[in-house]
């Protein structure tokens, strides 16, 4: 994919369709990448409830527990996530 995009940029006569065929990549995917659309892997999931900073806070909490030799329990992690979600008026994680 990267090689095909670089080939299109370096050779102005090379069409998108020809580059896709030459590098054996889907034309639509190549068009999306050229227009700046991120890959599905790089875009956040639609079902994410917590922001990136809140997830990082939970991870730091877990690592701090592990460092102090306290194994993190699932219910305590779930409780922390639910407290963070309660502030944002979002539904809790896990089973209701």
Q: What pLDDT, on a 0 to 100 scale, did the predictor assign at position 40?
A: 84
**Segment 27-39, tens digit of pLDDT:** 999 999 999 898 8
Q: Which distant-in-sequence residues (6+ apart) come within 8 Å of 89 by Cβ? A: none
Task: Using the predicted structure, report yes or no on whether residue 8 has a pLDDT greater than 70.
Answer: yes
Task: Using the predicted structure, report yes or no on whether residue 96 has a pLDDT greater than 60.
Answer: no
Q: How confident is the model at residue 91 (pLDDT cuts 50, 70, 90)?
A: confident
Closest Cα to residue 93, out of 47, 44, 52, 41? 47
Question: To 10 degrees, the CA torsion angle through 79, 83, 89, 91?
Answer: -10
**Segment 10-68, tens digit of pLDDT:** 988 889 999 999 999 999 999 999 998 988 888 877 778 888 888 898 999 899 989 99
Q: What pLDDT, on a 0 to 100 scale, did the predictor assign at position 27?
A: 93
Q: What pLDDT, on a 0 to 100 scale, did the predictor assign at position 95?
A: 67
């Amino acid at each position: 994919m990267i090689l095909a995009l670089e080939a299109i940029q370096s050779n102005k006569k090379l069409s998108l369709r020809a580059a896709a065929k030459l590098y054996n990549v889907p034309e639509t995917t190549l068009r999306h990448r050229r227009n700046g659309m991120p890959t599905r892997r790089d875009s956040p999931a639609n079902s994410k409830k917590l922001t990136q900073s809140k997830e990082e806070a939970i991870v730091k909490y877990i690592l701090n527990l592990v460092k102090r030799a306290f194994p993190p329990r699932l219910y305590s992690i779930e409780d922390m996530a639910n407290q963070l979600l309660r502030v944002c008026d979002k539904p809790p994680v896990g089973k209701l």
